[in-house]
Amino acid sequence: MTTPRAVISEQDDTGKQLIYDAWDQLVTVNSGGVTLATYSYDAQGRGIVANSGTATDLYYSSAWQVLEERQGGQARAQYVWDPEYVDALVESDRDPTGGGTLS
């Protein structure tokens, strides 16, 4: 287990303030005092919520592959991965209209 460090804030090349937690995970992006995005992580350090106005919940496989993205409880994207090659995406379906139908 790594030793947590102090919370750190830094600026990127575009002037946005990036705030990291004690485990070096990006948790907040600010610009001009306005929060642009927030991020949450599970106990294994995997991103589970990305919020840039509308929270996006991410669901993972045991191999850390994103299987589904949800907003407001509705599936926005689903991913199918090759069982032999962990990085080989076989298919992805998205909801292009926001109506709840994946295609």
What are 62-103's pLDDT values in tens digits?
Answer: 888 889 888 888 888 999 999 888 889 999 998 877 777 776
Kindly report, residue by residue over 28-45, the tens digit of the pLDDT: 999 888 888 888 888 888
| Cα–Cα distance, 25 to 75 (Å, whole number) | 25
Nearest to 28 by CA among 36, 38, 17: 38
Structure tokens, 98: 């926001």
CA–CA distances in Å: residue 68 to residues 7, 30, 41, 62: 30, 27, 15, 13
Q: What is the pTM of this model?
A: 0.59
CA–CA distances in Å: residue 100 to residues 27, 65, 71, 78, 85: 28, 22, 10, 12, 30
